[in-house]
């Protein structure tokens, strides 16, 4: 468990230096359009479909760790090397080449996902998951905040391609250390079922109605946010004309809030139950989206408030959805359940930003906000009568 905390902190440095707002900023610096920004945010979730293949591969392996480490190494090195594309290609081809390399790199992290989730589920007891992952997530967020703040200041002092290349070199070093931390982490005993017919094995989670209710609801919740969240950064940089430093400061405020929320809310999630908190999330998520209608060039304080709200809600969502993900998966079939969860969520995560890019390209941010708020309202209404009983049933079945 301690090794996993260290690994998470190193991954936070890796992804904080080149992901999030800085990833969007890098593509904008290369001349990306709104459609390409939407596609960028869709490619990562699309690769989650490969988790079904990874789950089947894991049923034939005596250990999960070597496969996970190999895929993690592929992801960290390839994505970090993508930062040097502007040195190699003409401006017209840079964005599309980056998207292709980014897609290939994300295949690595998606393929590693079921193995990592399965190992962590066997490592952390169910009654400790809220507290443990709250602590781990808080450490990750601290490392992310420190990295993002430094990176934003560095880009303001060294704008342009040379500044971004330095960030990608930092990410490469952190990514290699992150893979080294995986090597230190022990692997618990691996309990697995003989898959038999591969198609029947892959279909196993989809024959469970409680599982389908849980995965469709949580995927819908993620989609409602994913279709609009990439374009907050576009709005701040292109419409409000904020500098990199302020944008990264806002991101750091959200991260700091998430740190406090992870530390304070982990026990609450353990006591109240994941399904109780999950039912509140659609209604809570409406508030920061609605606040964006009042944002203007001088609304810095409101932007800080929105970042705080997003930090709290994001912390709750990451804790609850991840624990539901682990809780609904029977141990012997855990890799295929986790893979199916990732695949369905990934398909939704692919559709959401592509849809968001199409809408933003025609009407900007505000139509997206209405679409997102409408989705949250619908999810909140269907939760109580239809989804909640099945999610509870799936959680109880997973524990059994």
CATH of the domain at 60: 1.20.1250.20
Flag whether 193 is in a domain. no
Flag whether 56 is in a domain. yes
Phi/psi of residue 240, nearest 5 degrees: -85, -15
Is residue 14 scored above 90 in pLDDT? yes
Report residue 292 as tokens: 């964006």
Flag whether 309 is in a domain. yes
Angle at CA 13, nearest 5°, toward 151 and 132? 135
Report residue 216 as tokens: 């469709």
Flag whether 201 is in a domain. no
Flag whether 219 is in a domain. yes
Name residue, tokens 């209710």.
213
Domain residue limits at 115? 2-185+208-399
d(CA 163, CA 157): 8
Q: Residue 389: what pLDDT? A: 78
Q: Which long-range contacts (CB under 8 A, 24 or more apart) does 157-160 make?
A: 159/244, 160/29
Neighbouring CB atoms inside 10 A of 246's CB total 17
Report residue 40 as tokens: 């960028």
Flag whether 200 is in a domain. no
d(CA 225, CA 37): 15
Looking at the structure of the chain, the number of domains it has is 1
Name residue, tokens 């907050």.
232
Q: Residues of 198-207 as b/e, b for ≥16 C-beta within 10 angstroms?
A: eeebbebbee
Report residue 73 as tokens: 């190494």
What is the pTM assigned to this prediction? 0.65
Closest-CA residue to 316 (of 225, 383, 216, 230):
225
Flag whether 190 is in a domain. no
Q: Residue 193: what pLDDT? A: 63
Closest-CA residue to 244 (of 39, 14, 15, 28):
28
Tens digit of each residue's pLDDT (9 = 90 or more) over 83-132: 888 888 877 788 899 999 999 998 888 888 888 888 888 888 777 777 78
Flag whether 147 is in a domain. yes
CB 338 within 8 A of CB 117: yes
| Listed range (143-147, 247-251, 287-291, 373-377) with the worst mean pLDDT | 247-251
């Amino acid at each position: 468990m301690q090794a996993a905390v260290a690994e998470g902190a190193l991954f936070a440095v890796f992804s904080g230096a080149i992901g999030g707002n800085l990833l969007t900023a890098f593509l904008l610096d290369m001349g990306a359009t709104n459609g390409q920004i939407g596609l960028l945010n869709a490619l990562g979730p699309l690769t989650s479909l490969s988790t079904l293949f990874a789950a089947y591969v894991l049923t034939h392996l005596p250990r999960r760790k070597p496969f996970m480490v190999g895929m993690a190494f592929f992801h960290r090195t390839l994505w970090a090397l993508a930062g040097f594309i502007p040195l190699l290609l003409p401006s017209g081809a840079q964005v599309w080449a980056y998207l292709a390399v980014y897609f290939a790199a994300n295949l690595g992290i998606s393929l590693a996902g079921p193995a990592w989730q399965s190992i962590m589920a066997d490592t952390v007891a169910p009654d400790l998951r809220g507290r443990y992952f709250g602590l781990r997530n808080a450490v990750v967020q601290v490392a992310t905040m420190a990295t993002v703040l430094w990176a934003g200041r560095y880009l303001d002092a060294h704008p342009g391609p040379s500044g971004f290349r330095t960030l990608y070199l930092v990410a490469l070093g952190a990514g290699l250390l992150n893979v080294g931390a995986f090597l230190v982490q022990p692997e618990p005993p691996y309990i697995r079922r003989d898959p038999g017919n591969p198609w029947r094995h892959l279909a196993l989670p989809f024959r469970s109605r409680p599982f389908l209710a849980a995965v469709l609801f949580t995927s819908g919740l993620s989609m409602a946010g994913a279709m609009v969240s990439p374009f907050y950064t576009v709005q701040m940089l292109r419409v409000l004309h904020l500098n990199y430093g302020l944008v990264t400061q806002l991101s750091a405020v959200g991260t700091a809030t998430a740190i406090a929320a992870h530390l304070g809310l982990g026990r609450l999630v353990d006591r109240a139950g994941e399904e109780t908190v999950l039912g509140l999330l659609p209604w809570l998520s409406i508030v920061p989206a609605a606040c964006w209608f009042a944002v203007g060039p001088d609304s810095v304080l409101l932007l800080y408030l929105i970042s705080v709200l997003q930090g709290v809600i994001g912390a709750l969502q990451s804790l609850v959805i991840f624990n539901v993900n682990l809780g609904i998966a029977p141990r012997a079939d855990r890799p295929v359940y986790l893979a199916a969860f990732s695949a369905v969520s990934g398909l939704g995560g692919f559709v959401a930003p592509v849809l968001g890019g199409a809408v933003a390209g025609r009407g900007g941010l505000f139509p997206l906000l209405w679409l997102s708020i409408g989705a949250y309202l619908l999810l909140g209404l269907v939760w109580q009568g239809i989804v909640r009983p099945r999610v509870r049933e799936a959680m109880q079945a997973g524990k059994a």
